[in-house]
């Protein structure tokens, strides 16, 4: 399978003169127009690069976090619910957290109709990704990743001595599922990582496609289905109740508990017990547990956030078309756009417009940026900045 771009909204790229945008931005890759030097955001001392403001980088540019509008992270534009914030603040900091997260697992189970024994809570879904890798992979194992995608899958595999096999998309960032199944039949992976909806593309596979992948792994491998962004999908389907499927959910996106780090895993009891043996005690702090329980009781807040995302998503896609910027049609709360030299544009937006976007070079996509969907006033400010930056 190979990357192609036939499904993109190209919208008169040639007539708008952006065909050679990569070269036109080259001067901004290392240094902004006023001589300030930015950081290389494709690497972070060997660790995966993520969205969010880099405090060290801002310091080198003479900026503070409050100076910058952050589009690099993709969370509920309304932020956390007031109830969740209050619950976190009321936790006595002198007490140990519940190491088994009983109350939070019960709240998740009640919300989803799942037995709490099939739920494991983690310090964000990233902790759970690494725990899964430690639990199931050894140097003799084979791991497969549907790429381009979230960098922690590869990082977790490599820490276990495994170089994962990347399955690349074949058509507009959509994967050829049949070709993927045929390749997996040859390599017989122990673990397969699939982000659905995918980060950074926003592509969302349907139930039948995912079921085919899971069925192909039955008896031989585990499908780790990362649904961190699934709450923002309009026509989402119920996830698969299959013994060889692990579901990962994040509460940092839809519930905006980003700073507290909170995620959970749904799996069979056997998988839960196997993974839990590797989890450190008290990895999920007490304020996070309290905020999670409170957030789950306030579904109206998440729904309002979805409505805000829906409006912002339509607006940004319309704006991209009007600016003749290619983009990948998205199902979630972020949009990936092709802009030429993404590293240069990112630095220009940061230094001249005080706007931070996600440079996708670390995904192997140096011509793309990913922007989170924020409130409408912020979205308008981004569009105006893009319009000016691309014309200058």
Our measurement of the distance from residue 283's CA atom to the centroid of its chain's CA atoms, rounded to an integer in Å, reads: 21
| One domain for residues 95 and 240 | yes
Q: Is residue 53, in this structure, part of any structural domain at all?
A: yes
Q: What is the distance in angstroms between the CA of the first residue and the CA of the last residue of the chain? A: 37
Q: Is 240 exposed, middle or buried (0-12, 13-18, 19+ CB in 10 A)?
A: middle
Residue range(s) defining the domain that contains residue 86 = 82-297
Q: Is residue 256, in this structure, part of any structural domain at all?
A: yes
Report angle CA 149, 152, 156 to the nearest 5 degrees. 130
Q: Is residue 2, in this structure, part of any structural domain at all?
A: no
Q: Is residue 5, in this structure, part of any structural domain at all?
A: no
DSSP string, 65-115: GGG-EE-SS---TT-S-HHHHHHHHTS-TTS---TT-HHHHHHHHHHHT--
pTM: 0.88
DSSP category for residue 207: H
Q: Is residue 4, in this structure, part of any structural domain at all?
A: no
| One domain for residues 274 and 330 | no
Cβ 103 vs Cβ 286: under 8 Å: no
Report angle CA 317, 175, 365 to the nearest 5 degrees. 60
| One domain for residues 236 and 154 | yes
Going residue by residue through the chain, which has 392 residues, state the pLDDT in tens, using 9 for 90 and above: 433 333 333 333 333 332 222 232 222 233 333 434 443 444 455 688 888 999 999 999 999 999 999 999 999 999 999 999 999 999 999 999 999 999 999 999 999 999 999 999 999 999 999 999 999 999 999 999 999 999 999 999 999 999 999 999 987 899 999 999 999 999 999 999 999 999 999 999 999 999 999 999 998 999 999 999 999 998 899 886 788 999 999 999 999 999 999 999 999 999 999 999 999 999 999 999 999 999 999 999 999 999 999 999 999 999 999 999 999 999 999 999 999 999 999 999 999 999 999 999 999 999 999 999 999 999 999 999 999 999 87
| One domain for residues 287 and 325 | no
């Amino acid at each position: 399978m190979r990357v192609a771009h036939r499904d993109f909204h190209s919208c008169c790229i040639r007539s708008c003169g952006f065909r050679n945008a990569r070269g036109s931005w080259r001067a901004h890759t290392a240094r902004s127009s006023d001589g300030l030097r930015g950081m290389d955001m494709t690497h972070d001392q060997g660790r995966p690069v993520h969205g969010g403001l880099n405090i060290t980088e801002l310091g080198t540019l003479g900026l503070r976090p409050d100076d910058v509008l952050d589009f690099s992270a993709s969370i509920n534009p309304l932020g956390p619910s007031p109830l969740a914030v209050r619950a976190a603040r009321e936790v006595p900091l002198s007490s140990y957290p519940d190491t088994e997260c009983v109350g939070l697992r019960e709240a998740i189970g009640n919300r989803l109709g799942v037995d709490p024994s099939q739920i494991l809570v983690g310090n964000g879904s990233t902790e759970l990704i690494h725990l899964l890798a430690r639990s199931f992979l050894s140097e003799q194992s084979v791991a497969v990743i549907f790429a381009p995608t979230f960098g922690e899958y590869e990082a977790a595999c490599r820490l276990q001595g495994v170089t994962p096999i990347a399955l690349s998309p074949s058509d507009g960032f959509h994967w050829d599922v049949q070709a993927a199944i045929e390749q997996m039949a040859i390599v017989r992976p122990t673990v397969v990582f699939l982000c659905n909806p995918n980060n950074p593309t926003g592509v969302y596979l349907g139930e039948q496609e995912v079921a085919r992948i899971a069925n192909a792994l039955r008896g031989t491998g585990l499908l780790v289905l990362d649904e961190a962004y699934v709450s923002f999908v309009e026509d989402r389907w119920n996830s698969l109740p299959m013994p060889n499927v692990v579901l990962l959910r994040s509460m940092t996106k839809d519930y905006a508990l980003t700073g507290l780090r909170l995620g959970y895993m749904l799996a069979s009891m056997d998988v839960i017990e196997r993974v839990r043996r590797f989890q450190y005690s008290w990895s999920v702090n007490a304020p996070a547990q309290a905020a999670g329980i409170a957030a789950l009781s306030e579904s109206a807040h998440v729904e309002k956030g979805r409505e805000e995302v829906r409006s912002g998503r339509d607006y940004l896609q319309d704006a991209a078309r009007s600016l003749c910027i290619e983009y990948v049609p998205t199902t979630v709360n972020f949009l990936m756009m092709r802009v030429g030299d993404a590293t240069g544009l990112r630095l220009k937006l940061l230094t001249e417009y005080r706007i931070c976007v996600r440079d996708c070079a670390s995904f192997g996509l140096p011509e793309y940026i990913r922007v989170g969907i924020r409130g409408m006033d912020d979205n308008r400010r981004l569009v105006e900045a893009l319009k000016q930056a691309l014309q200058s």
